[in-house]
Amino acid sequence: MDVFYSIVGFFGSGGVFMYPILLVFAFGVAIAAERYITLAMVTNKNRVVWEKVQPLLNEGQFDEARKMTSEDESTISQVLNMGLSLQGTVRRREDIEIAMEESMMEIVPRLEKRTPYVALASSIATLLGLLGTIMGLIQAFTAVANANPAEKADLLSASISVAMNTTAFGLMVAIPLLIVHAVLTSKTGDIVDSLEMATVKALNVFSRRAKRIAETTLPNEGSAPVEAPAPA
């Protein structure tokens, strides 16, 4: 209970700026929780889909892979389906790669959505803490100016101690939010890297498939029928 009363006393002595800092903290935690859950679900769905699609690609079962990705809403399915829809209709690898990169450009902003708000909340909490301290110091010096000279030193030290509470609370809010923002950014980067890896592997499969088809088709087209020698 002593810890609880200490926290309540610390919060109560910080002044009115403690409440907006607390609201900023709640906002940052809500955004961070939503982003973390969303990114974790995206990671899990992509892993499950890739484990099913990769064997189909390696075996050349593009129709089955195309059907699976078209019926799935995961991010990796959207990227792969863009490439599979063009596989067999265009010959150049670059055309399929451009189409898959275009799909990536639509997906990445959705993955990064609202994550910068966590860093923004961290910065706002720090600035609110500093602002609260400055306002507290202004009030402290104003009160000391009108106080009894014998009490000025004690009053000033007590007022400064209280004024520093907002900066301390702002930093206690900002530091965890900044760490969470780094975690979310790293998690988003891992998802983007996995999508790029799947794109490269799919393109390599398409290229090998096209090369094998070309190798089996060209010799047949270039060979001329051999006429049997006329009987003597």
Q: Which amino acid is at 133?
A: T
Question: Phi-psi region for residue 55, left (φ > 0), alpha (ψ -120 to 50) or beta?
Answer: alpha
How high is the pLDDT of residue 117?
95
Write the DSSP symbol of residue 90: B
How much is the pTM? 0.81
Chain segment 48-87, per-residue pLDDT in tens = 999 999 998 888 888 898 899 888 889 999 999 988 888 7
Residue 24 in tokens: 């900023």
Looking up tokens 């301290």, which residue turns up? 133
Predicted pLDDT at 228: 47
Chain segment 167-177, per-residue pLDDT in tens? 999 999 999 99
Q: Which helix (H) or strand (E) holds 79?
A: helix 75-86
Summarised one tens digit per residue, pLDDT across range 72-128 is 889 999 999 988 888 777 777 888 888 888 889 999 999 999 999 999 999 999 999
pLDDT at 33: 96
pLDDT digits (tens, 9 = 90+) for 185-225: 999 999 999 999 999 998 888 888 777 777 776 555 554 45
Given pLDDT bands bounded at 50, 70 and 90, which one contains residue 5?
low
Residue 62's Cα: distance from chain center in Å? 30
Distance of CA 144 to the CA centre of its chain: 50
Per-residue pLDDT averaged across 28-46, rounded? Answer: 95
pLDDT of res. 163: 77
Instruction: Specify the pLDDT at position 207.
Output: 84
Please name the residue ranges forming H helices in the chain: 2-12, 18-58, 62-70, 75-86, 93-111, 115-145, 152-222
For residue 232, the model assigns a pLDDT of 44
